Amino acid sequence: MNLTPADSTVSVAPNSRATQDRPTSKNADQSPKSDGAAAQTASVATVTHLINKLSEYLPPSDMKKVKEAYRFSDERHLGQIRKSGEPYISHPIAVAEICADWKLDAQAIMAALLHDVMEDTDVKKDELIERFGAPVATLVDGLSKLDKIEFQSQIEAQAENFRKMLLAMARDVRVILVKLADRLHNMRTLGFMIPEKKRRIARETMEVYVPIAHRLGLNNIYRELQDLAFAHLYPLRYRTLSKAVKAARGNRREVVSKIMESVKNTLAATGIPAQVYGREKTLYGIYRKMRNKHLSFSQVLDVYGFRIVVDSFANCYVALGTLHALYKPMPGKFKDYIAIPKLNGYQSLHTTLIGPYGTPVEFQIRTQEMHRVAEAGVAAHWLYKDEEASLTDLQQRTHAWLQSLLDIQKQTGDSAEFLEHVKVDLFPDSVYVFTPKSTIIALPRGATVLDFAYTIHTDIGDQAIAARINHEQGALRTELRNGDIVEIITAPSSRPSPNWLTFVRTGKARSAIRHHLRTINLAESTELGKRLLAQALTALQIDPALPDSVLEKLKNESSAKSLDELYADIGVGKRMATLVARHIRGLMESDPTMPLPPVIESSRKLEPVAINGNEGVSVQLAACCQPIPGDSIIGQLRRDQGIIVHATDCDVAKRQHTKEPDRWIELVWDRELTRRFDCRIKVLVANEKGVLARVAAEIGESDANITYVGMDDDKDALMKLLRFTVQVEDRIHLARLMRNVRRIRGVARILRERG
């Protein structure tokens, strides 16, 4: 592990023209100053060095194409300078060399050399197709940002760039391999950036690129990116921990040497051919353990570990038994990732033993092939074709995950939502559960029964009502544990509920539920959207009956496929009615044939939207306050959930209103209501025989339906608290019910429960 990463120095071949004088492009890095943070020493990458490395495995015909790509990139980046003061062409060369270490093909190497020409110069995709072919041009396009498009915010632009990259990766995994190589070199040279930009790039690396590298099994890059991001996010902690690790090396050298010698001698005596390596944990790995378990550095004893590489699958388990005979294993610290590999294809036996002087020592045992996959992941035998018959198990899992990105994209409304779903699936911790037929399903830690159902098939998730977990009944929101056997119970009449979004964990489940809510309830959302837009237009003194010419312009400029889709987006909270109304006014002001009255927004208050509770999932009553007719109400526009109706005095509503005031609208109850509404009440009663029956009978006599009843567990208490959920027509009905219950013998107090 490199403890003090510094900027890689990459020199350019003498024949490069990159140092000639030419105006620097707007995207080129110019400041040569460095603050010296997180410096890492790397080998010097030159064009000659790159060509020599590629010549080891590429045929002469491919070498000719690579050299042509280099010359083209060199010419286009002429005069551009990095912040380190080096010619810009040094960066594509370094990226290509990292790709060459994985022995990627000529097209990927060419894309690495050309990856910035579309973004930083005036080169178009058509020109790349003509000169280097469609596959290379497509790779470069997938790596290029969307700088030419204007976005409302930096977050939106970042999300759209990630979506473009991840979808390109789903079609060709080489896109992300080149991108990770690009990010790795940028992180190695990040010390030349200003502090604010360093932190932003480091945070982005930690949140997105580190998990992707882990998900693809690229452990070498995963660890280095993690440490580099840690160094720039928390430089003081990084330096302090680095010094502590260096000091510990000297203190523990004797222990490490003794363990190494004992293990080698024991394995040799058993007749197991093995290579034994000492392994130091990454600084970020140590820091994460200290933070998560609230330990000081002196309490983290397993800073060092050992890796044993044997010659066969069977000898992994023989070596494990040999080690357990040598040192005592710690209970609960053995993991078999050979029988059940990690999601990214990683396979090893992990065991923690009590070594000399009582120090815990971790051992990883694997074969040479497992070691190769553990270090290089999908790049060890990278995949970009669809010939599934020839795919390894790792490639099939990677292929399935990449295809799931395309499925999520089809169900997702926008780039920010897409990135949210994908980030969820990138977290490395997993649980492994079984279907009734003993198929292993890997899910993110914290996944529920419903996540499992959607992983099996979208239709099973949509129709799920319950499950049997280890042959016992379980709810959809039950969190799964390692080794659970799960069987989903479905019903054809079951449909996704907005409430499901509060407990699903996987991106696939979340996107499928949102997609269903958008499409199945389209008519309800469209009608609600029309009402919200009409309200906002009226407040701007615009007749809601808009001319056809304005509606057509609005549809074309909103990127919606139809006006109904636009209205539905407003109804489910994806678009704000007030912003759409202002945009409409701008369209009308630009047309001289449509005179408008002056806008005096402060003089016109938005008319409240009337609701009756029968709108379906487009309008939902908040569970926290359970408003009923007669309560003063307010509505929160929640993305993909429509309007959430709260009582005006609800504490939850007050807190959320402070955070997002623009997403709240005034509501009133409609005059014609045809349904009943849930309401919670609690009744304090004397602990005597028959009191529950008397209270329940009186509620029925008051023409209310009981949907839930509960009580305190303390049997010896003099008073007991009864809790009911009842269905009433309005506040007047509730007040009459409470008055009748209060008269019952044994009832001390009754009140409506809120919050």
pLDDT computed for residue 629 by the predictor: 92
Question: What's the pLDDT score for residue 382?
Answer: 46
- Mean pLDDT of the chain, nearest integer: 77
Check whether 604 has a pLDDT greater than 70: no
pLDDT per residue over 63-96, tens digit each? 999 999 999 998 888 888 888 778 888 899 999 9
Predicted confidence band of residue 229 (pLDDT cuts 50, 70, 90): very high
Tell me what pLDDT residue 166 has.
63
Q: Which CATH class is domain 47-233?
A: mainly alpha
In this structure, the number of other CB atoms found within 10 A of the CB of residue 317 comes to 16
Q: pLDDT value at position 1?
A: 37
Q: How far apart are CA 5 and CA 38, in angstroms?
A: 5
The strand pairing partners of 442, in sequence order, are 432
Helices 691-701/731-742 angle, 10° precision? 140
Query: Greater confidence, 191 or 498?
Result: 191
Specify the residue for token string 């496929």.
Answer: 561
Lowest mean pLDDT, pick from 13-22, 65-74, 237-246, 387-396: 13-22
Higher pLDDT, 334 or 594: 334
CB within 8 Å of 617: residues ≥ 6 apart: 497, 498, 517, 521, 524, 641, 642
Contact 642, 617 (CB under 8 A): yes
pTM of the complete model? 0.53
pLDDT of residue 6: 34
- The predicted pLDDT at position 680 comes to 92
Quick one: pLDDT at residue 600? Answer: 45
pLDDT at residue 412, as a whole number: 54
Report percent pLDDT > 90 for the chain.
Answer: 18
613-627 pLDDT, tens digit each: 766 556 778 888 999
pLDDT of residue 68: 92
CB neighbour class for 57 (10 Å; exposed up to 12, middle 13-18, buried from 19) = exposed
Per-residue pLDDT reduced to its tens digit, 428-477: 456 778 888 877 787 877 889 999 999 888 889 999 988 999 888 888 98
Query: Which option is the CATH number for 677-752: 3.40.50.720, 1.10.1760.20, 1.10.10.60, 3.30.70.260?
Result: 3.30.70.260
Out of 32-36, 348-352, 387-391, 695-699, which region has the weakest mean confidence (pLDDT)?
Answer: 32-36
* Confidence band for 568, pLDDT divided at 50, 70 and 90: confident
Q: How far apart are CA 674 and CA 146, in angstroms?
A: 51
Label residue 639 by pLDDT band (50, 70, 90): low
**Other CB atoms within 10 Å distance of the CB of residue 392:** 14
Residue 414 has what pLDDT?
Answer: 53
pLDDT (mean) for 212-241: 87
Return phi, psi of residue 360, to 5°.
Answer: -70, 135
Model pLDDT for residues 109-149, shown as the tens digit of each residue: 999 999 888 887 788 888 899 899 988 998 888 777 544 33
Per-residue confidence at 561, pLDDT binned at 50, 70, 90? confident
Residue-level pLDDT at 156: 55
> With 60 as the cut, is the pLDDT of residue 23 above it?
no
Query: Which two tokens mark 489?
Result: 């119970």
**Spatial distance between the Cα atoms of 530 and 511, rounded to a whole number of angstroms:** 25
120 catalytic? Reply is yes
Out of 29, 120, 182, 451, pick the active-site residue.
120
Average pLDDT over residues 715-729: 86
* pLDDT for 31: 36
Which residues partner with 644 through β-bridges? Answer: 620, 636
Domain spanning 237-378 has what CATH number? 3.30.460.10
Higher-scoring residue by pLDDT: 51, 374? 51
Indicate if the pLDDT at residue 631 is higher than 70.
yes
**Cα distance between residue 136 and residue 111, in whole Å:** 6
Question: Is residue 8 scored above 60 in pLDDT?
Answer: no
Q: What pLDDT score was predicted for residue 318? A: 93
Give the domain ranges of the chain. 47-233, 237-378, 393-519, 608-675, 677-752
Give the pairing type, strands 719-728 and 677-686: antiparallel
C-alpha dist (Å) from residue 178 to 97, 102, 133: 10, 10, 18
* Sequential DSSP letters for 586-612: HHHHT-TTS--PPP-GGGSPPPPEEE-
- The confidence score (pLDDT) of residue 152 equals 42
Question: Which pLDDT score is estimated for 18?
Answer: 39
Average pLDDT over residues 298-315: 81
Q: Is the pLDDT of residue 739 over 90?
A: yes
Question: Domain 393-519, what fold?
Answer: Ubiquitin-like (UB roll) (3.10.20)
Q: What integer pLDDT is reported at residue 391 of this predicted model? A: 44
Please give the span between the terminal C-alpha atoms of the chain, in angstroms, as a whole number: 52
Q: Which is nearest to 653 in space by CA: 735, 574, 643?
A: 643
| pLDDT score, position 110 | 93
Listed in sequence order, the DSSP H helices in 29-153 are 47-55, 60-76, 90-101, 106-114, 117-120, 125-132, 134-143
CB-CB contact of 613 with 620 (8 Å):
no
DSSP state of 500: G
For the question of residue 119 being annotated catalytic, the response is yes
Helix (H, G, I), strand (E, B) or coil at 218: coil
Confidence check: pLDDT of 713 > 50: yes
- Give the percent of the chain with pLDDT over 70: 75
Mean pLDDT of 230-253: 83
Bridge partners (DSSP) of residue 479 are 448
Q: Which of 68, 75, 105, 119 is catalytic?
A: 119
Q: Is the pLDDT of residue 585 over 60?
A: yes
